[in-house]
Amino acid sequence: MTDRLRTDLLHLGVIAALVVLFLTLPTYYAGNLSRIMVLAIYAIGYNLLFGYTGLLSLGHAMFFAAGMYGYGLTAQLAGVPALPAFALGILAGAALGLVVGALALRTAGVAFMIVTLMFAQAAYLTILHFGTYTRGDEGFVVPSEARIVFGIDLSGETERFAAALILFALVLLATGRLVRSRLGRTLVAIRENEERTRMLGYDATRLKLIAITLSGALSGLAGAAYALLFGYVGASFAAVPYSIFPLLWVLLGGAGTTIGPLIGVFFMFYLIDTASGITLAYLLIVGVALVLLTLFAPQGIAGLIKRRLPWLP
Amino acid sequence: MPLTKIDRRSTLLGLGASAGALAMGTRFTHAQSAAPIKIGFQKHATGIGAAYGRWYDATTQAAAARINEMGGINGRPLEIVIEDDGTDPKRGAEVLEKFASQHECDVAFGTLFSHVVIGSAPRAGELKLPYFVVSEGHHVASGMLNRYTLQPGITDVKSQVQSMAPFVANNLGKKVTMIYPDFAFGHDHRDYFSAAIAAQGGEVVAKIAIPPTETSFTRYFPQIPRETEVIYHVMVGPAVLTFVKEMGEFFGPSRPEIFGFIDSLEAVAIDSPGLEFLEGTYFWEGAPRHAQANQTEYDAAFRAAVGVDDRGASVDDPRDISTYAHMFGCWDTLNVIKAGMEASGYRGPGDRAALIEAVEAMTDMPLGMDHPTGAKLFNGKTHQAFGEQHISRVEDGNLVVVHTASIEDGLYEDEVDYTTQSF
Amino acid sequence: MEFGPHLLLAVLEGLVTASILSLTAMGLSLVFGVMRVVNVAHGEAFMLGAVLAWWVTGLVAGHPAVGFVLAALTAPLIVGALAAASDRLVLKRLNYDPDRTIVATIGLLYIAQQTTLMTFGPDARPVEPPFNQRIALPWLERTEEGWTWFYPWGLSITSYKLFVIAAAAAILVAIWLVITRTRAGLLMRATQQDSETAQAFGIPVGTVYSVVFGIGAALAALGAVLVVPIQQAHYLMGGEPLLLSFIVVIIGGLGSLPGTVIAALLIGLSDGIISVFFSPTLAKIIATLLVAMVLVFRPQGLLGKAQT
């Protein structure tokens, strides 16, 4: 079996497993799957830049928010129907990725972290500043017309799951192909040794710009999908914690692996959910778990698996 | 330390309530089912709303204990299921799903912060889970939410603000400078108060919106025009003490009249170091924190039940101040839920629509043990309650009520009719 | 208020912000410079310092100055010891791997916040300043009789805020002397430049790391003790100082102590001065973008050496 075939089979298996879980789990857990998949798309977008290209951004919430507001505001203020509004959301994420990338890629390492952090902070404040339209921190409820795609109301549990699954499947399969493609391998080469990649004749800056734009588009897609499927747009999604979460998910799940982001989101979601069922001091448990995990699973959970299955994409 | 005490206390209250329910098992047996009615309580246990969440919890537990002592609802005991929403809209929506699908709660209840309400309400509508919020936001009455979301226990900000304007214009001054946080809650104050003061012949001469992450404020005060007769302030969050203190330091001996919303100082002692300059200034209060000379027996009983003294502090620790101007909303709301379930003969989730219709049919909610801090008028079309509002003056470190705005002062035209929406 | 006095007020307030910020950022800069790790829990050291200050001042009766001095002595020590312990227990075992350190310190952040929430509570708690007189400031104005001094409405500062500026300056000078003139400072600088060579020369790099991590946290705690009579102790107060000091360290140029101070001044003052000209939130947006642009066009920071 070729690695490419194995990769595709793995991804199809993951998607099939999600469907089986949805059909067999009790209502509450089945419902969680939609949210987990949307957030996993966000994590995959982040992983593309961080895990594969080696650029650590601390401002990805701005891309998520760009998608969320790109979709939500056009639907809310201009009455744009769901599909075009959704496309605008993805476009907003990609465009912001391009602009931020063009500026921030002049820097590297920690300076890149700070520049992205500050751009995200400015984006967050901008949402608050234009509170007349965005309703600031409070946010707004997406009009129900804008949640109907091809006559299907996505606010139903099954419809929501189906929509989330389609988006997630497309993103997962596409990234599976992407990381095995020439572009994907060059991005990894940049991560491993940018100098050498340049000397081999690659335009590293342009490739990094492509990576950040793609990453912005995927994050924007996740933001728009969140608003579309859960009906709410708000500034808290543009705040610092939502820039930290994808980093955490990716590091926990396994950076530079295609299924790591999903595993990371799953893990964090149920870590918080389970711990909060045991005690109100669940953040303490989360904190301890994070420390223990870094001590004992240094490459993330997918990293542990990869040790057994070295072909893991 | 003070907090652990309180937490243990409220936990004990909860335990006491359930033990009481057990002991009263015999009293519940006449009902068709003695299974408890489950109320999901969305609590701000962590995050920026934690100071409020703790007291919303204490009030809720006390109200539930009282209802259970009286025989529960339709002969069934009440059970409060607590989930922390982290004061975050995303987690708030998840918690509602948990209430509906995992805990199989009958209704959800108790949210304060507007962004959590707005983030959760669409899910409440989709899950067809009645969602009783205690948020004082205008989001319910504005028509933004849905038929499953109601606010029957606390007046909304539009009404509060509107009912303050006559007193401010007639007693404090007509030229007002507003200082408010630059987010939706602050913008509501800005818009509704500007309109209301204009109707009284006054005007807002400056609007100073403070970025919500700000921790120092002095540099913004120079934007206050000299002609200002009244400062209207409504800051929230942990930095409010700094705000009030720095305002005092800025003005020194020559200050204009100052009117603020107690939201700025909920859970903070009015006699904290640095707040001396508040002497002689005015505050809005939903319920007077300090027991007044004409205190009703209901207010006294409510304080005793929640464990709060005459100064609105925990009976265990006088330094531990409650969120008295808001937390009564939880007590009132639970009693509305009880009344609604009794009126509709509620038996289980199949009767949720009937419960909402029963609440929508309510109007007068008279002063009494069910509404111990004041009567309310409920508007079934807008799903919003309206109550009396108080203005207190700080005199020798005491909050003394100098004016009470009537319910009528706070009424405005309906912006929505939820009863026309389908279930 | 007239333009001149307004600007003066903004500068004074900016200086207070910059003073606290430079202490906190100096702590992060030391850790970052010597150990090359991002300590996300640095803001929590600040928060713990403030909370401990509230606790310590509540223990002693009498004049508020007694409690304040006691807090200034003990809070940084306790926080520093906690930090050094967490370095030994966690970071050392991670071999200071950059990515894993981020996750681990996020874990430490949650632990610190939740523990504080469970013990100290969710309320903001004030600490009484040791002294606090309002000082009205004069301004020059041209009248018909020529230039005269007058006291504009609202132009004032408090004696405590002046003290904060002076105290921060004194502490910064002391740090600089320790680093440049003492053996301990020499060990730190040697470890910073090349930890492997330092190890080869018999410098106990592990101990240096623990001490530096402790000192970094203690500096944040000291900044918090200074600020807590102006602001209040609150369990979520660590976020803002973390972001700002992080920004300051990078803008100043990695490992450059003078750069850190200059960047703290730049950020503290620009925040205040830009707010004179624009509406507050817009001012914050502009200030944030401006500082980001500094880095875009000078990625090595103000005083950092260009990468070769």
pLDDT band at C151 (very low <50, low <70, confident <90, very high): confident
Q: For chain A, list the contacting chains (3+ Cβ pairs, <8 Å).
A: B, C
Asked if B122 and A141 come within 8 Å (Cβ–Cβ), the reply is: yes
Q: Examine the pLDDT at A49 and tell me if it is beyond 60.
A: yes
Best C232, C244, C284 residue to mutate vs chain B (most B CBs within 10 Å): C232
User: What is the model's pLDDT at position C279?
Assistant: 77
Hey, which residues does B403 pair with through a beta bridge?
A: B391
Domain count along chain A: 1
Q: Which residue shows structure tokens 């190890």?
A: C199
Q: Quick one: average pLDDT of C136-160?
A: 81
Q: Quick one: average pLDDT of C50-73?
A: 90
Chains A, C: CB contacts within 8 A come to: 121
Residues of C in contact with B46 (CB under 8 A): 114, 117
Q: Which residue shows structure tokens 């009719």?
A: B417
User: What is the model's pLDDT at position C123?
Assistant: 83
What's the 3-state SS for chain C?
A: CCHHHHHHHHHHHHHHHHHHHHHHHHHHHHHHHHHCCCCCCHHHHHHHHHHHHHHHHHHCCCCHHHHHHHHHHHHHHHHHHHHHHHHHHCHHHHCCCHHHHHHHHHHHHHHHHHHHHHHCCCCCECCCCCCCCEEECCEEEEECCEEEEECCCCCEEEHHHHHHHHHHHHHHHHHHHHHHHCHHHHHHHHHHHCHHHHHHCCCCHHHHHHHHHHHHHHHHHHHHHHHCCCCCECCCCCHHHHHHHHHHHHHHCCCCHHHHHHHHHHHHHHHHHHHHHCCHHHHHHHHHHHHHHHHHHCCCCCCCCCCC
Asked if C90 and A104 come within 8 Å (Cβ–Cβ), the reply is: no
| A288 and C CB contact within 8 Å | yes
Asked if C243 and A117 come within 8 Å (Cβ–Cβ), the reply is: yes
User: What is the model's pLDDT at position B32?
Assistant: 52
Distance (Å) from the alpha carbon of B276 to chain A's nearest alpha carbon: 32
pLDDT band at C187 (very low <50, low <70, confident <90, very high): confident
Asked if A121 and C243 come within 8 Å (Cβ–Cβ), the reply is: yes
Q: Which residue from A104, A225, A218 is spatially nearest to A165, judged by alpha carbons?
A: A225
Task: Please indicate, yes or no, if residue A297 is contained in any of the structural domains.
Answer: no
pLDDT band at C306 (very low <50, low <70, confident <90, very high): low
CB C18 within 8 A of CB C262: no
Residues of B in contact with A142 (CB under 8 A): 122
Q: For chain C, list the contacting chains (3+ Cβ pairs, <8 Å).
A: A, B
Q: Which positions ≥6 away from A192 have C-beta within 8 Å?
A: A54
The segment with the largest mean pLDDT, out of A108-122, A269-283, B83-97, is: B83-97
User: Between C113, C247, C300, which is nearest A114 by CB?
Assistant: C247
Q: Examine the pLDDT at B170 and tell me if it is beyond 60.
A: yes
Q: Quick one: average pLDDT of C69-76?
A: 94
Q: Examine the pLDDT at A75 and tell me if it is beyond 80.
A: yes
- Helix pair A82-104, A109-129: axis angle to 10 deg: 140
CB A154 within 8 A of CB A164: no
Q: Which positions ≥6 away from A1 have C-beta within 8 Å?
A: A9
Q: Which two tokens stand for residue C51?
A: 């909370």
C-alpha A196/C-alpha A86 separation (Å) is: 40
Q: Distance from first CA to last CA of chain C, Å, rounded?
A: 50
C-alpha A133/C-alpha C122 separation (Å) is: 32
C-alpha B117/C-alpha A44 separation (Å) is: 29
Task: Please indicate, yes or no, if residue A15 is contained in any of the structural domains.
Answer: yes
Q: What is the pLDDT of residues A217-260, one digit of tens each?
A: 999 999 999 999 999 999 999 998 899 899 989 988 888 888 89
C-alpha B381/C-alpha A201 separation (Å) is: 69
Residues of C in contact with A239 (CB under 8 A): none
C-alpha A271/C-alpha A276 separation (Å) is: 8
Asked if B183 and A138 come within 8 Å (Cβ–Cβ), the reply is: yes
For chain C, the average pLDDT equals 87
Q: Examine the pLDDT at B46 and tell me if it is beyond 90.
A: no
- Helix pair B50-69, B324-343: axis angle to 10 deg: 40
Query: In this structure, what DSSP letter does residue A240 have?
Result: T
C-alpha B110/C-alpha B327 separation (Å) is: 10
Distance (Å) from the alpha carbon of A130 to chain B's nearest alpha carbon: 9
CATH class of B2-156+298-387: alpha beta
User: What is the model's pLDDT at position C139?
Assistant: 82
pLDDT band at B23 (very low <50, low <70, confident <90, very high): very low
Q: Quick one: average pLDDT of B29-55?
A: 83
Query: Residue length, chain A?
Result: 313
Distance (Å) from the alpha carbon of C29 to chain A's nearest alpha carbon: 12
C-alpha A183/C-alpha A190 separation (Å) is: 11
Q: Examine the pLDDT at B296 and tell me if it is beyond 50.
A: yes
Phi, psi of A312, deg, nearest 5: -55, 130
Q: Examine the pLDDT at B83 and tell me if it is beyond 80.
A: yes
User: What is the model's pLDDT at position B9?
Assistant: 38
Q: Examine the pLDDT at A119 and tell me if it is beyond 90.
A: yes
Q: Quick one: average pLDDT of B358-378?
A: 95
Q: Which two tokens stand for residue A89?
A: 């959301």
Q: What is the pLDDT of residues C206-232, one digit of tens each?
A: 888 999 999 999 999 999 999 999 888
Distance (Å) from the alpha carbon of A51 to chain C's nearest alpha carbon: 11
Q: For chain B, list the contacting chains (3+ Cβ pairs, <8 Å).
A: A, C
In chain B, the residue whose alpha carbon lies closest to the alpha carbon of A32 is B94
Asked if B183 and A141 come within 8 Å (Cβ–Cβ), the reply is: no
Asked if C240 and B213 come within 8 Å (Cβ–Cβ), the reply is: yes
Phi, psi of A298, deg, nearest 5: -60, -30
Query: In this structure, what DSSP letter does residue B102 have?
Result: I
Residues 118-137 of B with CB under 8 A from A: 118-119, 121-123, 126, 137
Q: Which amino acid belongs to residue B350?
A: G
Q: What is the pLDDT of residues A53-73, one digit of tens each?
A: 988 898 999 999 999 999 999
pLDDT band at B2 (very low <50, low <70, confident <90, very high): very low
Distance (Å) from the alpha carbon of C136 to chain A's nearest alpha carbon: 33
Q: Which residue from A283, B87, B238 is spatially nearest to C235, judged by alpha carbons?
A: B238
User: Between B211, B254, B320, which is nearest C280 by CB?
Assistant: B211
User: What is the model's pLDDT at position B56?
Assistant: 95
Q: Quick one: average pLDDT of B211-233?
A: 87
C-alpha C69/C-alpha C225 separation (Å) is: 10
Task: Please indicate, yes or no, if residue A27 is contained in any of the structural domains.
Answer: yes
pLDDT band at C305 (very low <50, low <70, confident <90, very high): low
C-alpha B300/C-alpha B129 separation (Å) is: 34
Asked if A252 and C103 come within 8 Å (Cβ–Cβ), the reply is: yes
Residues of B in contact with A156 (CB under 8 A): 126
User: What is the model's pLDDT at position C239?
Assistant: 85
Q: Quick one: average pLDDT of C155-168?
A: 90
Asked which of A216-225, B32-41, B314-323 is least confident by mean pLDDT, the reply is: B32-41
Residues of C in contact with B244 (CB under 8 A): none
Residues of A in contact with C99 (CB under 8 A): 56, 251, 255
Asked if C156 and B267 come within 8 Å (Cβ–Cβ), the reply is: no
For residue B257, give Cα distances in angstroms to A127, C53, C262.
33, 34, 41
Q: Which amino acid belongs to residue B316?
A: D
CA atoms within 13 A of residue A250's CA, in its CB half-sphere: 30
Task: Please indicate, yes or no, if residue A294 is contained in any of the structural domains.
Answer: no
User: What is the model's pLDDT at position C174?
Assistant: 93
Q: What is the pLDDT of residues A274-301, one digit of tens each?
A: 888 777 777 788 888 888 888 887 777 8
For chain A, the average pLDDT equals 90
Q: Which positions ≥6 away from A277 have C-beta within 8 Å?
A: none
Q: Quick one: average pLDDT of B1-7?
A: 38
For the domain covering B158-293+390-410, report its CATH number: 3.40.50.2300
Residues of B in contact with A275 (CB under 8 A): none
User: What is the model's pLDDT at position A62?
Assistant: 97
Domain that includes residue A104, residue range: 3-239
User: What is the model's pLDDT at position B17?
Assistant: 46
Residues of C in contact with B245 (CB under 8 A): 230
Phi-psi region of A282 (alpha: psi -120 to 50; beta: other; left: phi over 0): alpha
Q: Examine the pLDDT at B334 and tell me if it is beyond 60.
A: yes
Task: Please indicate, yes or no, if residue A30 is contained in any of the structural domains.
Answer: yes
Best B182, B215, B243, B251 residue to mutate vs chain C (most C CBs within 10 Å): B215
Asked if C100 and A298 come within 8 Å (Cβ–Cβ), the reply is: yes
CB A242 within 8 A of CB A68: no
Distance (Å) from the alpha carbon of B54 to chain A's nearest alpha carbon: 12
Q: Which residue from C136, C18, C165, C14 is spatially nearest to B218, judged by alpha carbons?
A: C14
Q: Examine the pLDDT at C64 and tell me if it is beyond 60.
A: yes
Asked if C295 and A111 come within 8 Å (Cβ–Cβ), the reply is: yes
| C6 and B CB contact within 8 Å | yes
| A159 and B CB contact within 8 Å | no
Q: What is the pLDDT of residues C230-272, one digit of tens each?
A: 888 888 889 888 888 888 888 888 777 888 999 999 888 887 7
Q: What is the pLDDT of residues C102-113, one digit of tens each?
A: 888 989 999 999
User: What is the model's pLDDT at position C145?
Assistant: 80
Residues of A in contact with B212 (CB under 8 A): 128, 137
Distance (Å) from the alpha carbon of A131 to chain C's nearest alpha carbon: 11
For chain B, the average pLDDT equals 88
| C97 and A CB contact within 8 Å | yes
The C-alpha torsion from A74 through A78 and A81 to A85, rounded to 10°, is: -20
Asked which of A231-240, C59-68, C77-86, C216-225 is least confident by mean pLDDT, the reply is: C59-68
Please, what are the domains in chain C?
Answer: 3-297 (1.10.3470)
The residue extents of the domains of chain B are 2-156+298-387, 158-293+390-410
DSSP H or E stretch at residue B153: strand B149-155
> Regarding predicted confidence, which is higher, C240 or C166?
C166
pLDDT band at C290 (very low <50, low <70, confident <90, very high): confident
C-alpha B103/C-alpha B111 separation (Å) is: 18
Residue % of chain A over a pLDDT of 70:
100
Q: Examine the pLDDT at B28 and tell me if it is beyond 60.
A: no
User: What is the model's pLDDT at position B33?
Assistant: 63
Residues 22-81 of A with CB under 8 A from C: 56
C-alpha B289/C-alpha B311 separation (Å) is: 6
User: Between C104, C289, C296, which is nearest A106 by CB?
Assistant: C296
Asked which of A189-203, B109-123, B126-140 is least confident by mean pLDDT, the reply is: A189-203
ipTM of the modeled complex: 0.87
Q: Examine the pLDDT at B27 and tell me if it is beyond 60.
A: no
Asked which of A72-86, A250-264, B26-40, B235-249 is least confident by mean pLDDT, the reply is: B26-40
Task: Tabulate helix, strand, coil % of chain C (nearest 5).
Answer: 70, 5, 25
Asked if C93 and A295 come within 8 Å (Cβ–Cβ), the reply is: yes
Residue A238's SS3 state is helix
Task: Please indicate, yes or no, if residue A59 is contained in any of the structural domains.
Answer: yes
User: What is the model's pLDDT at position B29?
Assistant: 46
